[in-house]
Structure 1
């Protein structure tokens, strides 16, 4: 098929030439008018939603992050579109730990030998000698540093328990600033113990072994402390620890609190309620920007597809999900799966996830359901391999190159595959670097990030690759139709009660966004 892209106007994403070769998966008697569907799901329709999300961000401080007015307006827009289309829409509330750093922190040695340390700014655009810990409290404090159970020089292997036990603070002088060393327990434990001992603030420095010397950019995991907490490099901490009576100033300007937010769940009015085909994308952005590729692109695509499928009676029930607080550790999808009963989980026959489907320097990546790429993460639950093959067939029909990508736990499929639900989806790359082979396959520029505006203010409607958006939305529309009418959905008829796997082969000391927790 010829694939024609008109700049600015967008294109029809799928045509009969794309969809009909996959229609063999459908029972003939239930085959809907795929040609009509193919011509009605269009890139301009998706981009209209993206433009609306950009307008919402523009009107709300440049962000659509969970817990902000920008997310509330995004929620209302999406829910309104779904209700207008005729879906049964559920707004699912939950509370989550919100964090925002309002201004660049200050850390300086007052005496002896005064020195101002280089900060890491809130947007993370550079890495300085120290960084505010996520969920740090706010304050402007000056006090004497007090070493807490440090191991200097460091042991050969990570083993420091600095600040891990309340007994480490025996004799700690209230009002001092605790100097702590990274080690064997979470940063949250260290900070909570320091606060309980009366510390006015806490400085946690890297432990010192190979690979543990750089500036700590970590998270406390939850808003449980009110004192300022920063992470530093080993060099800074080691230097500070060596001089008794050192006085420092520590200033952080943050909001760290529990806030409400909501997921949006939309069900078709027809289809077998015991055979649910669920599609999802996270609706929230990061605080730093409007999040149009990450993840307005996935949200807008499934919203447009939902609007076009709304009036078509399907054999299986379709469910469209728009998650909140994904950027803070998959909190929305995790909450959703956690409150499902085993019977409700069993009704969800597969989950399709779409996160960043239009990166400017894109590669077309399909979640590796069978672990055929063998790149570290395990295969998805049984049936995930079939989903991968459907997307592969779609791109093969187009003679379009594609690659596998691991289920690495960094998006909202994680809680579903942990529950044993077959999953799949598409991705075009984030902060990772495009390879020379991918340049040959997809064009673009090798040696450059797939999305150079990842988690930044420049993630606007200008940060969308129209061809990637078109190809992926066509694939999503195709999968939605195939599974909406299929008599034989992926995976076993009876799912195992438990699943002996983890969502991500990731270091235990990081959260799913890669922030250190200990």
Structure 2
């Protein structure tokens, strides 16, 4: 799950230089029509039969392959990773494309390259007074400190929430800005601090928890920026408000660079092309680890379901997507929806997001996507998952539908969405321990965004069961959209001005 960067069509044209607006009206490029195979001789997809075809052995073997790809990045990163731009991610893309390519003409297969910004923090340290706060984390996409060397200065308390140039006193020049989280984005705060002459910035939380965020689209005025918990910020604030001086040393060695990466899209040759069920997972990991649960489990679930679906015919087209750059801020899914013409948008009846299907300390989580807050049809999809868990005598919980994964761009552009997950860095409650087993007081995935997110980090029971549920969701809508809300011209909209708390796994506000 993912930091953020939202590319507007104008920005994309600027980045790619000579490209014209008309070129961005084609959502899929490098298309490879593979033929219809012998689809007409196959039975119509049936949910029970498709679910029965899912085997944990196939999923585990795919996971082992994925980890071997992550190992290809060791010479550059010092450990296995499948972050965009790495050899591990390139091998992952080749694997997915090749696997679908071999499926006997059942899918039209496409690659969709797009520009991306990625960041990597190699080293960081923050000292405040004589303390090294444990909650200090560099923001995603932060630039380094000057010359990648430590910078020293007094902490200067910024007024209000640091969203206006007048909030930054003249004394911030040559010093370190201390800014409260809220209202405007972290990127805006960093940029304003840089314009005011600060050598670094610290954004502190108004809550006790740590603050892991992103600066979003890089600008020349961004300065090296840390997040800090409200708990660690409290004593510092007290001193600053009493007029006591507090000095600080900040150090970040990082890089932020532009690259090109690729989405992979596969659509059934058969099925009504004007009524598509779409589902996706992300192909990349964070730079810190191999990402076998996040989101190897989701992307491999899609690949296995896509493979087993070839045994059946479908009434409605099924479109699988493997997004790149999710961990850098939902880049691939944002790009896909951003350049999608209105008439193509309307062909997508719903989008289902599958991110982290087998967390070790799992809970069966359903996004609480209601029609009141999201495009109509989102609630019906939510209820499909709930009904399936209930039918199998399984507990479930609802989790916020707050923009933390690749469904975000779809619902912002009028496409119903939803999905399931098994938990990331959240802490399992005692009640959930009773409902699902595992251990209360620990993260759902103790290896979330870490080096230990390897093959042994995926719970086979949860992964197999949820892959069967994914198969059920595909089979249901591939056979019929009966009773599901229709799309219309009025349901296509852009709400890019709306700001969510999250865009990917990192906070943006």
Partner of 2:149: 140
Q: Shift of the alpha carbon at 1:350?
A: 1.4
Q: Shift of the alpha carbon at 1:53?
A: 1.0
Q: Is residue 59 from structure 1 mapped to residue 72 from structure 2 by the alignment?
A: yes
Partner of 2:215: 220
Q: 1:287 to 1:38 in 2, by over 3 A?
A: same
- Does the Cα contact within 8 Å between 1:379 and 1:407 map onto a contact in 2? no
Q: 1:67 to 1:107 in 2, by over 3 A?
A: farther
Q: 1:35 to 1:222 in 2, by over 3 A?
A: closer
Structure 1: segments with no counterpart, 5+ residues: 1-28, 110-114, 120-126, 152-158, 372-377
Q: 1:499 to 1:493 in 2, by over 3 A?
A: closer
Q: Which structure has the larger Rg over C-alpha atoms?
A: 1
Q: Is residue 432 from structure 1 mapped to residue 426 from structure 2 by the alignment?
A: yes
Q: Whole-Å Cα distance in 1 between the matches of residues 487 and 383 of structure 2?
A: 19
Partner of 1:122: none
Q: Whole-Å Cα distance in 2 between the matches of residues 230 and 370 of structure 1?
A: 35
Q: Is residue 83 from structure 1 mapped to residue 101 from structure 2 by the alignment?
A: yes
Partner of 2:326: 326
Q: 1:391 to 1:181 in 2, by over 3 A?
A: closer
Q: 1:189 to 1:51 in 2, by over 3 A?
A: same
Partner of 2:14: none
- Does the Cα contact within 8 Å between 1:384 and 1:491 map onto a contact in 2? no
Partner of 2:177: 179
Task: State the Cα deviation string for residues 382-405 of structure 1 (Å, max 9, x = none).
Answer: 222332333333333322333333
- Does the Cα contact within 8 Å between 1:414 and 1:503 map onto a contact in 2? no
Q: Shift of the alpha carbon at 1:500?
A: 9.9
Q: Shift of the alpha carbon at 1:381?
A: 2.3
Q: Whole-Å Cα distance in 1 between the matches of residues 215 and 331 of structure 2?
A: 16
Partner of 1:288: 288
Q: Whole-Å Cα distance in 2 between the matches of residues 100 and 479 of structure 1?
A: 37
Which range moves more in the overlay, 298-307 or 91-100? 91-100
Which structure carries more relative contact order (alpha carbon 8 Å, separation 6+)?
2
Q: 1:443 to 1:502 in 2, by over 3 A?
A: farther
Partner of 2:39: none
Q: 1:503 to 1:385 in 2, by over 3 A?
A: farther
Q: Whole-Å Cα distance in 1 between the matches of residues 421 and 167 of structure 2?
A: 48
* Partner SS, residue 317 of structure 1: strand
Q: 1:98 to 1:408 in 2, by over 3 A?
A: same
Q: Shift of the alpha carbon at 1:476?
A: 1.2
Which range moves more in the overlay, 342-351 or 385-394? 385-394
Q: Whole-Å Cα distance in 2 between the matches of residues 144 and 503 of structure 1?
A: 36
Work out the number of aligned pairs and report it: 451
Q: Whole-Å Cα distance in 1 between the matches of residues 331 and 473 of structure 2?
A: 26
Which range moves more in the overlay, 469-478 or 310-319? 310-319
Q: Shift of the alpha carbon at 1:296?
A: 0.8
Q: Whole-Å Cα distance in 1 between the matches of residues 117 and 170 of structure 2?
A: 31
* Partner SS, residue 420 of structure 1: coil
- Does the Cα contact within 8 Å between 2:334 and 2:409 map onto a contact in 1? yes
Q: Whole-Å Cα distance in 1 between the matches of residues 332 and 167 of structure 2?
A: 37
Query: What does 1:173-322 align with in structure 2 at a 5 Å threshold?
Result: 176-182=174-180, 185-196=184-195, 199=198, 201-204=199-202, 206=204, 211=206, 217-225=212-220, 227-232=223-228, 233=233, 235-236=235-236, 239=239, 242=243, 249-310=249-310, 312-322=312-322
Q: 1:192 to 1:487 in 2, by over 3 A?
A: closer
Q: Shift of the alpha carbon at 1:319?
A: 0.5
Q: 1:236 to 1:503 in 2, by over 3 A?
A: same
Query: What does 1:408-427 align with in structure 2 at a 5 Å threshold?
Result: 408-427=402-421
Q: Is residue 98 from structure 1 mapped to residue 118 from structure 2 by the alignment?
A: yes
Which range moves more in the overlay, 311-320 or 99-108? 99-108
Which range moves more in the overlay, 387-396 or 288-297? 387-396
Q: Shift of the alpha carbon at 1:410?
A: 1.3
Task: State the Cα deviation string for residues 93-131 of structure 1 (Å, max 9, x = none).
Answer: 22222111112325476xxxxx4x415xxxxxxx34x43
Q: Whole-Å Cα distance in 1 between the matches of residues 212 and 46 of structure 2?
A: 52
Q: TM-score, normalised by structure 1?
A: 0.77
Q: Shift of the alpha carbon at 1:136?
A: 2.3
* Partner SS, residue 479 of structure 1: helix
Q: Is residue 31 from structure 1 mapped to residue 44 from structure 2 by the alignment?
A: yes
* Partner SS, residue 350 of structure 1: strand
Q: 1:180 to 1:427 in 2, by over 3 A?
A: closer
Q: Whole-Å Cα distance in 2 between the matches of residues 379 and 172 of structure 1?
A: 41
Q: TM-score, normalised by structure 2?
A: 0.78
Q: Shift of the alpha carbon at 1:495?
A: 5.7
Q: 1:37 to 1:100 in 2, by over 3 A?
A: same
Q: Is residue 41 from structure 1 mapped to residue 57 from structure 2 by the alignment?
A: no
Q: CA RMSD in A?
A: 3.3
Partner of 2:385: 391
